[in-house]
Amino acid sequence: MIMSTARDYIIPERVPDYLPLIRRLIAETVKEEGNVSYTLYQDREHPGEFVLLEFWRDQESLDAHFKTPHFTAIVPQIAKLHAKPSVVNTYTEV
């Protein structure tokens, strides 16, 4: 199993623009073969900071996710709302 965290740092006043985009990404991603879980969390002290906690069956599933039409269409739109670049980390279950 692969776990990934994707942190978005959104300009606070752009959060209303971010939420529909990220919700659409989540709705499509959870349908993907190999996706176990894909959940968004908002920082309680910094409302412009979000983290996606993702679980994938294997690396191949995660790699395929990066090539999907919804990912390639939505992620560049989200990038325009960033206060600073996203940080993505991946982990292997041990």
- Separation between Cα atoms, residue 94 and residue 10, nearest integer Å: 32
Give the list of residues 6+ apart from residue 40 with CB closer than 8 angstroms, or none.
Answer: 22, 23, 26, 50, 51, 52, 53
CATH code where residue 62 lies: 3.30.70.100
Give the list of residues 6+ apart from residue 42 with CB closer than 8 angstroms, or none.
Answer: 49, 50
pLDDT band (50, 70, 90) for residue 62: very high
Q: What region, left, alpha or beta, does residue 40 occupy, with left being phi > 0 and alpha being psi -120 to 50 degrees? A: beta
Domains held by the chain: number: 1
pLDDT value at residue 1: 96
Write out pLDDT tens, residues 40-58.
999 999 999 999 999 999 9
pLDDT value at residue 79: 97
Domain residue limits at 77: 2-92
